[in-house]
Amino acid sequence: MANHSQLGFQDASSPIMEELIEFHDHALMVALAICTLVLYLLTLMLMEKLSSNTVDAQEVELVWTILPAIVLIMLALPSLQILYMMDEIDEPDLTLKAIGHQWYWTYEYTDFKDLSFDSYMLPTTDLTPGQFRLLDVDHRVVIPMESPIRIIITADDVLHSWAVPSLGVKTDAIPGRLNQTSLITTRPGIFYGQCSEICGANHSFMPIVVESTPLTYFENWSSLLSS
């Protein structure tokens, strides 16, 4: 999860988030190169004496027309690649349905006969040492690590958004519509998120907690809850 005074992204815990961070760094380097070039040219214009001689500038015009196009291609190609990767859902091992309410989440494991629960934020008075205020819930979403997971997201009343930054997931929950996304966790851990769509007075009080576990632990957990 994020720390105080943190300037960068949270540590990536999924392949998609790793790609997003890499693209972010790539785009920043391109922007840095452009800013450096513009600053150099501005300094040069201020320091050098202006010349009244008119010269043929066809070569210069050719460069400043083609160079921005090349820069845009350098940004567009990896961006499109990541967009297609985020939409790709290939034979998931598990399907999870998340339903947004005012102001809590309902989760249904559709591959199991009877496995569903509501997830509410823990009140401050019920927190134990090590738990986070406004972020911990009474029932976490448990998923197996290193397994492709399909998440179907919808809402029961108003617009919500299911977002977990460290997993690179942010999908709107719209009443009457099913949106889907996918994720793969690369390591065990507990990942925190929140509703990212203003959904009413208690919008800030419907957190999301995803717990990534080994497959054997997930099987034991699911058998206990579904029994």
- Show the domains of the chain with their CATH numbers: 15-87 (1.10.287.90), 94-225 (2.60.40.420)
Q: What's CA 162's distance to the chain center, in Å?
A: 10
Handedness of CA 117, 119, 122, 128 (dihedral sign): positive
State residue 54's pLDDT score.
47
* HSE value, Cβ hemisphere, 13 Å, CA-based, for 188: 7
pLDDT along the chain (227 residues), means of 10: 80 91 94 92 79 62 87 92 86 93 94 90 91 92 93 94 93 94 92 92 93 93 81
- Structure tokens, 114: 């009877």
Instruction: Give pTM, 2 decimals.
Output: 0.84
Q: CB neighbours (10 Å) of residue 100?
A: 27
State residue 31's pLDDT score.
94
Q: Tell me how far apart the alpha carbons of residues 168 and 162 are, in angstroms, rounded to a whole number.
A: 11
Q: Tell me how far apart the alpha carbons of residues 207 and 98 are, in angstroms, rounded to a whole number.
A: 13
Q: Tell me how far apart the alpha carbons of residues 62 and 57 are, in angstroms, rounded to a whole number.
A: 9
